[in-house]
Amino acid sequence: MKKRLLLITGSPGVGKTTLLLKVAEALKAKGINVGGMISRDVRTSGSRVGFEVTDLSSGNKGWLASVHQERGPQVGKYRVDIDDLNDVGVKAILDACEKLDAVVVDEIGPMELFSEKFREAVKKAVESKMLVVSAIHWKMGGELIDSIKKREDAEIHILTSENRDHVLEEIIREALDFLSKVDA
C-alpha cells in the first residue's frame, strides 16, 4: 500500500518545520498544489516569545501562542490563541482539503489540539484520499495522534540532525510516488 500520510517526528528544534517547508517547495516545483499550515518560532532579542501560524497558500498569519497572550489554554509559558489558530490554521487545512493536491500540517501537538476545530480539520485531512505531510509531537499520544500513527496508510519518519537530508529526499520521493498513482 502506498503511504499517503507522511508523518515527521523528532525532538524540538531538530528541523521538522524546515523539512516540511522544503517538501512543500519541492512539490510546488513539480506543479503540485500544496496548502496547509506551518508554525514557526517568533523571537525578540533572541528569546522565543511565541509561535506564528501561517497559511501556506494565502500567506495569512496569526498567533498560535504567545507569552503576551492574556487568555486561552496555557502550555508552558505560552497561551494558545484559539481564534487565530482556527481563523488561519484550520482554514488553511480545510481549504487545502477542498481545493488542492496535498496538505501540510505543522504540527499536531499540544497547543493545536486545544482546538476542537483543529482536531476536526486534521481528521478530515486524514480521512480524505489526499496526500498529507505532517509533523507530530515527538512524545505526545492521545486518541487522535495514536489513531493516525496506527493507520495502514501512515508512515512515521523520525528526524534527527544526522538524517535530515535523507528523510527529506525519502519523503519527497514517497509523496511524488503517491501523487503519480493518483493521477494515473
Q: Where are the domains of the chain?
A: 5-37+85-183
Q: What is the pLDDT of residue 182?
A: 63
How does the average pLDDT of the chain come out, rounded? 94
The larger pLDDT score, comparing residue 26 to residue 3, is at: 26
Question: Over the stretch 66-105, which tens digit does the pLDDT of each residue have?
Answer: 999 999 999 999 999 999 999 999 999 999 999 999 999 9
- DSSP-derived secondary structure for 10-63: -STTSSHHHHHHHHHHHHHHTT--EEEEEEEEEEETTEEEEEEEEETTT--EEE
CATH of 5-37+85-183 among 3.40.50.300, 3.30.930.10, 3.90.1150.10, 3.40.190.10:
3.40.50.300
Ranges assigned E (strand) in the chain: 5-9, 34-44, 47-55, 61-66, 74-75, 78-80, 102-108, 131-136, 154-158
Q: Are strands 131-136 and 74-75 parallel, antiparallel or unpaired?
A: unpaired
Question: Over the stretch 102-156, which tens digit does the pLDDT of each residue have?
Answer: 999 999 999 999 999 999 999 999 999 999 999 998 887 789 999 999 999 999 9
What is the radius of gyration, based on Cα positions, of the chain?
Answer: 15
Q: What is the pLDDT of residue 71?
A: 93
